[in-house]
Homo-oligomer: A and B are copies of this chain.
Amino acid sequence: MSDDLFVIRRAALFANLLPEDLRLLLKNARIIRFKAHEQIFAAGAQAAALYFLVSGSVRLFSLSSQGDEKVIEVIMPDATFAEGVVFLGGRYPVHAAAVTDSEVVELATHHFSSILANNHDMAMRMLAGLSTRVHQLIQDVASLTLETAGQRVAGYLLSQCSPTCGNEAIHMVIPKNVVASRIGVKAETFSRVLATLRGRELIRVTGNDIHVLDRDALMRWRDGVERT
């Protein structure tokens, strides 16, 4: 209802939607809070809703006949889950339960599908959002397997300052350790890379602000063979 539900735009599925799309979708949406270990839905139940995780973490798992549990996936904030089965219309193939205290946005299947059925362009925007995300993720995988930690850090800095290309500072809103883990690097390593970049006067660090002093040199360093 209120605009704070617009957080769902952070999910690739909704990233390309227009404000009116979102308003329509969110008309019957509600935020639900789950305590740690509380069940969200059960495998085998008719898929009545899809979910967007606002905060906390959620476990998708199945139970073997012996009763032991196999974790299929752990959902982290800003991701949707159970959307696949909603598109196909069926039953949940897995159980879902909150790992830690969690907030989710619930979007009822029937409402969701009927909107999409009448709104072809919106479906297209969803397809576009998802395919962008797929390409992004493929890039991430590539960068994890064939770039060094230093290259990834440099790449991240470049990606952050590329719009404001000039001499603007990157203001690190999120704590450095979160950024580090986002690019697949330990906080210590991240710190060390910044230190060497500082030493080479490619960047200047002041508190939470990072100035890229020489964009081109930084790019060269990232792609570069020379790593003295």
A residues in contact (CB < 8 Å) with B? 12-13, 16, 73-74, 79-80, 83-85, 87-89, 113, 116-117, 120, 123-128, 130-135, 137-142, 144-145, 184
Contacts and interface: CB of A to CB of B under 8 A. Distances in A.
B141 A141 contact: yes
A70 to B, nearest CB: 9
Contact of A124 (B73, B74, B88, B138): B88
A135 B134 CA distance: 9
Contacts of A116: 120, 123-124
Q: How many copies does the complex hold?
A: 2
B120 A130 contact: no
Contacts of A131: 13, 80, 83-84, 87, 130
Contacts of A87: 124-125, 127-128, 131
B132 A84 contact: yes
B130 A88 contact: no
Contact of A138 (B16, B117, B137): B137
Contacts of A140: 137, 141
A135 B73 contact: yes
Contact of A123 (B120, B137, B144): B120
A76 to B, nearest CB: 9
A135 B88 contact: no
Given A13-B127, A84-B131, 4 more contacts: A84-B132, A87-B124, A87-B128, A116-B124
A138 B137 CA distance: 7
A-B pairs with lowest CB-CB distance, top 9: A137-B137, A130-B130, A87-B128, A87-B124, A87-B127, A123-B123, A145-B184, A84-B131, A84-B128
